[in-house]
Amino acid sequence: MLLIDQVKSTIRDVEGYPKPGIVFKDITPVLADPVLMKRIIQFFVRNYRDKKIDAVAAIEARGFILGSVLAHELACSFIPLRKAGKLPFNTRKQRYDLEYGTAELEIHTDAIKPGASVLVHDDLLATGGTACAAGHLIKSFGGELAGFSFLINLGFLPGARNLQEQFGLAPDFLIKY
């Protein structure tokens, strides 16, 4: 079975979560399948192994799961991008808009060296607000964006367009809905 088809058939749709009208893409069944997870990681590694990535910056919380393994496989640093107030050391923050308010993303102030090539990873791209905040944080340190990778792209929302407009980078993803 093609990887895309296998992942799509394994993702569980949860109607009305976290609020009515939303169909949540639950990747928990994907995480439970070690063979499928290995194939997913191999997909992303093939896309980035020749790009000399210095770090994978992954977005809390589900982005950590694949992002940390991807960093390991690419033999580079892993940088956690967290919700405000979750990191214990000195941080830099980036505020971004949500459909229901605002939020902040944080990174440690010593996480990125100027000129470092950083791949941003998360599980799902929707409007792109969080990913754009991550990109702005990386650029604020003088880091170079190597790309944006996602397991899922909700193509009916403007996330890919927003990343392209703000950073000139088309996101890399396995599944598009």
Any idea which residues carry the catalytic annotation?
Answer: 62, 99
Rg (CA), the chain: 16
Instruction: Supply 2's token pair.
Output: 């093609």
Instruction: Supply 54's token pair.
Output: 């210095």
| Separation CA 152–CA 8 (nearest Å) | 9
Is residue 119 within 8 Å of 133, Cβ to Cβ?
no
Is residue 63 within 8 Å of 86, Cβ to Cβ?
no
Is residue 56 within 8 Å of 119, Cβ to Cβ?
yes
Q: How far is CA 68 from CA 8, 19, 40, 60, 74, in A?
A: 22, 29, 13, 11, 10
Instruction: Supply 20's token pair.
Output: 């009515």
Instruction: Supply 73's token pair.
Output: 């496989």
